[in-house]
Amino acid sequence: MGYLIAAAAAPVLGPVLYRLLHPHPRAVTFVDGFVYLAVPLLVAWQVVPHAWSEGSVVPLLAVGAGFVIPTVIERASHALADQTDNLALLVGLSGLVLHALLEGAAFGPGGGRIDDAFALAVIVHRIPVGLVIWWLIRPRFGPTAATAGVASVVLATLAGFGLGTEFLGDAHGGGAELYQGFVSGSLVHVVFHQGRHDHDHARADGTDGDTRSQNLHR
């Protein structure tokens, strides 16, 4: 139960770190660089083990499709760029929620004995998950939406624990793994495309995402 509580609470530390570091310009640069590194690592965490165990490149192709398709749509129509990024962000978040659901089930009674190293890895990698969600959503949609995004991962973890591995057994199938690959690619697209634009623009005009959000409501 201790592992479950720690895993569920870990994503909340991401926004806390964001708030502590964001007032400091050098720290902001560090956080941005960390997110650009963390997202590919998170994608690898979700996709590579399955691809390796199955001896298949199809999950990796799904990641590529998730990255390329939004890019193609945006280049075909600049008018759809914002909508495509928002949709890709929503799809990417759904993948993180699905992964949290499965990890929560692994901590349940039917998940077998949890190895300490595995539990620690799950808990630690969830901190950048919370940071990435907050980093992406907060500048665009404000703190309420960002809080809801982080909360969705926390609730999915608890729901997965409650449902257990028997109920979620089919979610480990090929279709779900390919979906996670696709949405992971979508998340990479958002971070390296629109995410970079949001945060670079905020620094260029001398404001952070919080100030911009406040100004919009005045």
Q: List the domain boundaries for the chain.
A: 2-207
Per-block mean pLDDT, blocks of 10 residues, the chain (218 long): 87 90 82 82 73 73 84 70 77 84 78 69 86 88 94 92 68 65 81 59 48 39
Q: Given this model, what pLDDT does residue 198 score?
A: 53
Listed residue (89, 88, 107) closest to 156, CA to CA: 107
Angle, CA of 209, 210 and 212, to the nearest 5°: 65
DSSP type of residue 109:
G
Q: What share of the chain is helix, strand, coil (3-state, %, to 5)?
A: 90, 0, 10
**What's the whole-model pTM score?**
0.74
Q: Given this model, what pLDDT does residue 216 score?
A: 35
Q: Given this model, what pLDDT does residue 195 score?
A: 52
